[in-house]
Chain A
Amino acid sequence: MKRQYLIGDSVWLVLGLAVCFEAWRLNVGDFTRPGPGFLPFWAGALLALLSLIALIQSVLEKPKEEPSVWAGVNIAKLGLVLLALLLYVVLLNTLGFILCTFLLLLFLFRVVEPYPWYIVLLASALSLASVYVIFVRFLDVRLPAGLLDFLR
């Protein structure tokens, strides 16, 4: 864990300091008249202080033989899923809920276990249809129509 903590705690330390800096700009005020930066400043300062202590602890800790936490991570698969989700967010308003979700579901049903395509198609269509019926028909939720707007 040592190396991970060294990196992790450093990130928190930098974040804490950055928050302090930004909060200072927002006007911290004083104890009699706390300003908008008051709580963020002290929370940031505490975060930075605690990260510093944790960081020193990690440095002093003897390195142990441990398997890396990243062992077994399938970076490619993880990246693909994240990319797909990000694309979903970007395209949701243009492509519309139905089209966008259908494509995402096709991908997700294939990614963990490569089921045959007819199962993937069926599962995606079924889950999309049930969610659409529950949320749009029964709960009256508005989802972006996008390209399929003409269907309404």
Chain B
Amino acid sequence: MDVLTQLGMGFQVALQPMNLFYCFLGCLIGTMVGVLPGLGPTAAMSLLLPATFHVPPVSAVIMLAGIYYGAMYGGSTTSILVNIPGEAASVMTCLDGYRMARAGRAGAALGMAAFGSFLAGTVGILALTVVAPPLVGFALHFGPPEYFSLMCLGMVILTFLSSSSMIRALMMACFGLIVGTIGQDVVSGSTRFTFGIMELMDGIGLIPVVMGLFGISEILLNLETKIDREVFQTKVKGLLPTVEDWIRCKWALVRGTVIGFFLGILPGGGAVLASFVSYAVEKKFSPRGDQFGTGVIEGVAAPESANNSAAQAAFIPLLTLGLPANVVMAMLLGALIIHGVTPGPLLIAQHSDVFWGVVASMYIGNVMLLVLNLPLIGMWVQFLRVPYPIMMPLIVLFCLVGSYTVANSVMDVFFMLVFGVIGYLMKKLKYEAPPFILAFVLGPLLEYSLKQSLIISKGSFGIFVTRPISAVCLAIALVLLLIPLVPLVGRKRPGATLESED
């Protein structure tokens, strides 16, 4: 069957009333958490994961995916109107977007952000539709050594991009691997690091860890700062950018989309990285590059298109290889596994309704988001006026209920608190959470493929360098590890200014 027939089948799934509803719900919630600073897509997805337990896997993934790409839309609104990024991938949009709003062009900035997001998102899904199925054939050649090396590469890239010290980011990855081994060893059946606590036998769940690290820790951090959100007081009118704006932005949109797509596929990459790189590239190539930061519309179009196409592209490694490229995809991996769908090369063949249904829902979701974000912009601005002291208890409440309902266990709530405190201390002392989460999620898979490889090779590490795909991955990882040791280049790590993706 060719792609079009398959996609047609996907639309049949996605257009079922229930799936349409979940798609809409995901987009709505995504836009909301995107608009609200301090609550990112990762936290929102972990909050809602337990709520998807009793719906079919397609609907669950459709909704969770909607939250992710919806947040990419919503984040720009806060950036433009309040000069606070609604979520990490919109940091760059603040620079020119807010300036435009000050100059009375808030409408054009919001419009360009929404249209740019829509165009790039749609192109991203088109590319996903075309690229993913052939990639599966390639992925079938992946054995344990390839998986191991690719996972190592992903973790190295993420630590390479970390905003603080790379050594400490690597330390967090090690810590993640260690926490991932808590519980029963699948191969030998012996229990590890459980300290006699029954609840630790199955390991610590992803949800309590993520909610603690990204939800509770943020609450604790915000206790000390008074949060003032001054919504820019202006009538948002004329949401359609002018013809001149479009002509100026066309190359920014194209470049943003392409850059976003490739950085989105990259293990360890994702929307945050894409928006930073795309802004920097645009600044260099645009004829008005020297005016960037003063309120030029290209400065909004480039990062907004990049973060949306990256958000779509990030699904490719997850759905073809079963490897999450970033923290958000790790959440989706967890969701799929809970629903009994194992992501990997066989996903498209075994669960074609899940794959094509989700892909088709993304086309629909992008249209929904355009409608949600343009005419309803006033509603989202109202949302920003809800004071933080009111929001805070609600976020805590959702974290508590969410972590409890995963396994109906008070112990999980306790683990969430523990990781909340760990996350708070990590944030305070500038140790990064994303490498920890990625390593924590990949840990069991990494351990399995490492052991398998060593058993195949009878204990020789040669297996990792004699197989070409694996050797290339490890070589790239090694180069990235060595770069910080070269003093001059090391200072210019792109991630030096990067915020973490939560």
Residues B43-73 near A (CB distance < 8 A): 50-51, 54
Q: Is B337 part of the contact surface with A, judged by Cβ < 8 Å? A: no
Flag if B174 contacts A78 (CB, 8 Å). Answer: no
Contact of B220 (CB < 8 Å), options: A22, A82, A101 = A82
A139 and B54 within 8 A (CB): yes
Quote the shortest CB–CB distance from A123 to chain B (angstroms): 7
Nearest A residue (CB) for B185: A36
Please report the C-alpha to C-alpha distance between residue A53 and residue B171 in the assembled complex, in whole angstroms.
11
Give the size of the chain A interface in residues (CB under 8 angstroms).
69
In the complex, what distance in Å separates the CA atom of A8 from the CA atom of B430? 10
Does B1 have its Cβ within 8 Å of any Cβ on chain A?
A: no
Whether B396 and A34, one on each chain, are in contact in the complex, defined by CB atoms closer than 8 angstroms, is: no
| Proximity string of chain A (53-84) to chain B, C-beta cutoff 8 Å, 1 when within and 0 when not | 11001000000000001101110011001100
Name, among B51, B187, B401, B420, the residue most crowded by chain A CB atoms within 10 Å (CB to CB).
B401
Contact B454 A34 (CB under 8 A): yes
Bound Cα distance from A88 to B168, whole angstroms = 33
Question: Is B414 located at the chain interface by the 8 A CB criterion?
Answer: yes
Interface contact B429-A5, CB-CB below 8 Å: yes
User: Does A54 contact B414, Cβ atoms closer than 8 Å?
Assistant: no
Residues of chain B with a CB closer than 8 A to A72's CB: 224-225
Docked Cα-Cα span, A40 to B393, in Å, equals: 38
Smallest CB gap from A31: residue in B:
B459
- Is A109 a contact partner of B220 (Cβ separation < 8 A)? no
User: In the complex, how many angstroms separate the beta carbon of B422 from the nearest chain A beta carbon?
Assistant: 11
Chain B residues whose C-beta falls within 8 Å of the C-beta of A82 in the assembled complex: 220, 417, 421
| Contact size range, B | 35 or more
**Interface: B398 (CB within 8 A):** yes
Flag if B177 contacts A26 (CB, 8 Å): no
Contact with B along A9-51 (1 / 0, CB 8 A): 1001001100100110011001111111111100110110011
Q: Once the chains are docked, how many angstroms separate the CA of A1 from the CA of B389? A: 30
Query: Within the assembled complex, what's the spacing in Å between the Cα atoms of A73 and B454?
Result: 49
Do B454 and A32 have beta carbons less than 8 Å apart?
yes
In the complex, the answer to whether A89 meets B181 with C-beta atoms within 8 Å is no
Nearest-Cβ distance from residue A104 to partner chain B, whole angstroms:
8
What's the Cα separation between A66 and B83 when bound, in Å? 27
Residue in A8, A39, A78, A105 whose beta carbon sits within 8 Å of that of B177 in the complex: A39
In the bound complex, how far is the Cα of B220 from the Cα of A108, in angstroms?
12
A14 to B390 Cα, complex, angstroms: 41
CB pair B387 A113 closer than 8 Å: yes
Contact B451 A101 (CB under 8 A): no
Partner of A141, one of B50, B388, B420: B50
For window 391-432 of chain B, which residues contact chain A by CB distance below 8 Å?
Answer: 392-394, 396-398, 400-401, 404-405, 408, 410, 413-414, 417, 420-421, 428-431
B167–A26 CB distance below 8 A = no
Q: Which residues of A sit under 8 angstroms from B187, Cβ to Cβ?
A: 36
Partner of B174, one of A4, A47, A112: A47
Q: Determine if A44 and B178 form an interchain contact, defined as CB atoms under 8 angstroms apart.
A: yes
Q: Does A140 contact B (CB under 8 A)?
A: yes
| Interface set, chain B 101-131, CB cutoff 8 A to A | none
**Interface pair A74/B223, CB less than 8 Å apart:** yes
**B339 CB → nearest A CB, Å:** 16
> A85-100: which have CB < 8 Å to B?
85-86, 88-89, 92-93
Binds A, one of B27-35, B188-196, B250-258: B188-196
Instruction: Judge if A131 is at the interface, Cβ distance under 8 Å.
Output: yes
Minimal Cβ-Cβ distance residue in A for B216 = A85
Are A46's CB and B417's CB within 8 A?
Answer: no
Chain B residues within 8 Å of A117, by CB: none
Contact of A51 among B171, B219, B461 (CB under 8 A): B171
Against A, the Cβ 8 Å flags (1 = close, 0 = not) of B213-242 are: 000100110011100000000000000000
Of chain B, the residue at the smallest CB distance from A88 is B400
Report chain A residues within 8 Å CB of B171: 12, 47, 50-51, 54
Contact in complex: B174, A39 (CB < 8 Å):
no
Tell me, yes or no, whether A133 is within 8 Å of chain B by CB: no
- Beyond A105-B393, A108-B392, is A4–B400 a contact (Cβ under 8 Å)? no
Cβ A8 vs Cβ B167 within 8 A: no
Contacts A22-B193, A92-B410, A108-B392 given; indicate if A30 touches B429 (C-beta within 8 A). no
Q: Complex Cα distance A113/B227, Å? A: 11
- CB pair A127 B400 closer than 8 Å: no
Given the known inter-chain contacts A86-B417, A112-B223, A131-B397, please indicate yes or no for A39 contacting B392, CB distance below 8 A.
no
Q: Which 8 residue pairs of A and B lie closest in terms of their CB atoms, listed nearest first?
A: A32-B459, A31-B459, A113-B389, A108-B393, A47-B174, A36-B185, A112-B389, A43-B177
User: Can you list 9 A-B pairs with a CB-CB distance of less than 8 A?
Assistant: A23-B192, A34-B451, A36-B187, A38-B450, A39-B446, A51-B171, A104-B396, A112-B223, A112-B389
Contacts A31-B460, A34-B455, A142-B408 supplied; 6 other A-B pairs, CB < 8 Å: A16-B174, A22-B193, A32-B454, A88-B413, A109-B389, A109-B393
